[in-house]
Structure 1
Amino acid sequence: MISDTLIPDTSMTETNTDKDHIKATMKDAILKAAEKVFSDYGFEGASFRAISELCGAKRALILYHFKSKDALWKAVAEDVKTRFLTQFSAYYHEAELKTDLQKSRQLNVAFLKAARDVPEYGRIILHEGLTPNERIKWMSQELKPELVTMPDLQDPFLIEASLSGLIRHMQAGALLYLGSMGPLIAMDTEDADTLLSDASIEQFADYFQAITLARMDQLKQLEEMQKEQVEE
């Protein structure tokens, strides 16, 4: 639940600065409440009533700040994306990366850790991806930062593997696992504490790296076969 400290006390005498602070604080409280509701129930399942119960703002005040439910959802998605990218960038650049394979692996480590730290990112994507809607197109353009799917690479086979959607497909599977299947498995195996540990994420990154290397080998073999056919 949103902390009571986020709900401004309007009983005091207000200066213009006070009013601006109160507005900003309430807007932030609404945003945090909406993030919780949208990530739990999706756009269609979210209601102004649920958001109001969390932040204390009535529907009219919510619409004063965000104009519409769609605008509020987009504001939440943008905020979640910003926090996700901040975490991703920090994790990606914490390691010294000299080779393309190191970059590829660290990209997966950073993505998984950021998805763990900002679970709302995956939950919002998963909710809206369940049924056709206008938000899917918006997400494909706004919530798919290039850094996450295409690091600065030189190896042509690794670049081709990335462009073919391999990294994106693995990341989609990771979001599904981290957001739904993983917690269920953890509960069943009494392994909840280790599911999202750094060690588990490093292991996942190794799995993804093995898949990437296998795809690179396939691409190399395909290129060799094509060369042989041309020579014949």
Structure 2
Amino acid sequence: MKVVKHAAQSREQRSLQVREAVLQAAIEVFAEKGFEGATLGEIASIAGVKQPLLVYHFTNKESLWEVAASSLMEKFNARQSELYQGEIQLDDRQRLLTLLKSFIYTLRELPAYGKLLLKEGSRISQRTQWLDQHFVPAIYRNAKFNDPRLQRIFGTVNLLRYVVAGGILYIVVAGPQLAVSAAEEGGIGDSPEELNPLSDDMVEQLANILCGMVFSQLEELPALEP
């Protein structure tokens, strides 16, 4: 009985390992090539499994994309939750700044999140609709502010969507390109940490710029009753 139980546990563990390997490979490929450019064959090859085994676990590319995106969102939420301390801040500006910093730092660690949004957000599809419903960071979705105008901005997501997009474009596109250009030109000066486009200092500056953008728009809105 012990042998049978051990064998069953080994099969279950192997199955979980296969699923995790496939999901990691799928996140990588979907983020780099988009849904249309990705193939199950390439994902299976990167994961180190046969394609029929991939299909056994995930049925088809559509199903795999959704599970991979959900897995990435879970990782993003978990990491941002570790970084975000906004609920202890009473001031709306500091709370928003902390939220933006946690978002950008998490995005720097998990650029696949931004890449996936950029790849699929450029065209209308069922995946775009899925992203709108399920691919919003939990902290962003549940943020609470004292100023009802700021709360309304978060509720309608119109302005903040563009602010967040600015962070994604910088971390995923502009920052890496600037870093490569700087490296090709022989460095980025005497203080590389301060000038590195992906350094902590630059992330802090970007968060402050984005926060300022939100509050400059906020000042133009009429006051609302709490």
**TM-score normalised by the shorter chain: which range applies?**
0.7 to 0.9
Shift of 1:147: 2.6
Question: Of the candidates 201, 205, 213, which is equivalent to residue 203 of structure 1?
Answer: 205
Distance in 1 between residues matched to 2:147 and 2:87, nearest whole Å: 20
Distance in 2 between residues matched to 1:115 and 1:33, nearest whole Å: 18
Shift of 1:67: 0.9
Larger radius of gyration: 1
Question: Of the candidates 12, 22, 26, which is equivalent to residue 14 of structure 2?
Answer: 22
Amino acid across the alignment from 2:147: D
Distance in 1 between residues matched to 2:114 and 2:23, nearest whole Å: 17
Does residue 88 of the first structure (1) align with residue 90 of the second (2)? no
Instruction: Give structure 1 stretches of 5+ with no counterpart.
Output: 1-13, 225-232
SS in 1 for 2:219: helix
Match of 2:171 in 1: 178
Contact between 1:31 and 1:76, CA under 8 Å: does it hold in 2? yes
State the identity as a percent.
Answer: 28
Give deviations 1:145-202, integer Å, cap 9, x for gaps.
Answer: 4531551111123224434522221001211221122211222234596222221111
Amino acid across the alignment from 1:63: V
Match of 1:79 in 2: 71
Distance in 2 between residues matched to 1:22 and 1:146, nearest whole Å: 31
Aligned length: 209
Instruction: Give structure 2 stretches of 5+ with no counterpart.
Output: 1-5
Moved more, 101-110 or 141-150: 141-150
Question: Of the candidates 129, 140, 143, which is equivalent to residue 135 of structure 2?
Answer: 143
Question: Of the candidates 214, 219, 228, which is equivalent to residue 221 of structure 2?
Answer: 219
Does residue 70 of the first structure (1) align with residue 62 of the second (2)? yes
Shift of 1:204: 0.7
* TM-score (structure 2 length as normaliser): 0.84
* TM-score (structure 1 length as normaliser): 0.82
Question: Of the candidates 23, 28, 33, which is equivalent to residue 31 of structure 1?
Answer: 23
Distance in 1 between residues matched to 2:141 and 2:204, nearest whole Å: 18
SS in 1 for 2:123: coil
Amino acid across the alignment from 1:58: K
SS in 2 for 1:115: helix
RMSD over aligned CA atoms reads 2.2
Distance in 2 between residues matched to 1:161 and 1:52, nearest whole Å: 42
